[in-house]
Amino acid sequence: MLPAFSNPIYWSNRDQCSGACSQEEVQRWWRSSLSSSWHFPVEKRGSPMARKQTRPSATQQAVLEPLQTTCRACGSHMRMGHHSHRTVTTLQGVTRLTLKVYRCRNTQCPRFHQPTRPEEEGGWALPHGEFGLDVIALVGTLLLSLIKSYLSLLDQVSQSRAGQDASVL
Ligand SMILES: [Zn+2]
């Protein structure tokens, strides 16, 4: 399920604009939204809206391993330290990732005991991210198209107003 802000209904119900604000006001609002944190729906008590349903269980699994299991600092063979788990929601579904984390065991190495996580993990999601990069890209595309259509609508309204004003004079 996509985040609420990817839903056009969410944006149309927002009280940011009563429908009579100018294009400059919308652009100013949009810039402030980008510069500050996202405006997520807020309950009347003022606390951020929490998840109301449990996250869907994973339908797929994947095991990721670092491509290189030799230490890039000392060249010695690293050993697997532990398994790390995370769940990522992509457009294909919910995937449970099992990550094999390796550590250098050479006590003389500057990277001694430092974790080496699978490189592929970064292709799935941002660090600590719940949604995959494909979902983030889709949301960005939807938001951009929504804003473009909104701005073109504002242009049309202002042009029709200008036409009405000219006909009155
Ligand atoms: Zn090392």
In angstroms, what is the span from residue 29 Cα to ligand 1's centroid? 50
User: Could you report the per-residue pLDDT of 31-64, keeping only the tens digit for each?
Assistant: 555 444 444 444 555 566 777 888 899 999 999 9
In angstroms, what is the span from residue 99 Cα to ligand 1's centroid? 20
> Does residue 66 share a domain with residue 15?
no
Would 89 be classed as within a structural domain?
A: yes
Would 122 be classed as within a structural domain?
A: yes
- Top-confidence residue, 74 or 15: 74
Q: What pTM was estimated for this model as a whole?
A: 0.60
> Does residue 127 share a domain with residue 66?
yes
Would 110 be classed as within a structural domain?
A: yes
In angstroms, what is the span from residue 120 Cα to ligand 1's centroid? 21
Percent of the chain with pLDDT over 90: 60
> Does residue 125 share a domain with residue 84?
yes
> Does residue 90 share a domain with residue 127?
yes
What is residue 17's predicted lDDT score, i.e. its pLDDT?
A: 44
Secondary element (H or E) of residue 109? none
Full DSSP string of 40-102: --B-TTSSBPPP-SPPPPPSEEEEE--S--B-TTT-PBPEEEEEEEEEEEETTEEEEEEEEEE
Domain that holds residue 15: 4-35
In angstroms, what is the span from residue 70 Cα to ligand 1's centroid? 8
In angstroms, what is the span from residue 27 Cα to ligand 1's centroid? 51
Chain center to CA of 16? 22
> Does residue 129 share a domain with residue 74?
yes
In angstroms, what is the span from residue 74 Cα to ligand 1's centroid? 4
Would 41 be classed as within a structural domain?
A: no
Q: What is the mean pLDDT of residues 74-90?
A: 96
Would 27 be classed as within a structural domain?
A: yes
Helix (H, G, I), strand (E, B) or coil at 37: coil
In angstroms, what is the span from residue 65 Cα to ligand 1's centroid? 18
Residue 68 identity:
Q
In angstroms, what is the span from residue 45 Cα to ligand 1's centroid? 52
Plot region of 128 (φ>0 → left; ψ -120 to 50 → alpha; else → beta) = left
What is residue 29's predicted lDDT score, i.e. its pLDDT?
A: 55
What is residue 2's predicted lDDT score, i.e. its pLDDT?
A: 43
Q: What is the mean pLDDT of residues 103-116?
A: 96
Would 88 be classed as within a structural domain?
A: yes
Domains of the chain: total: 2
> Does residue 29 share a domain with residue 91?
no
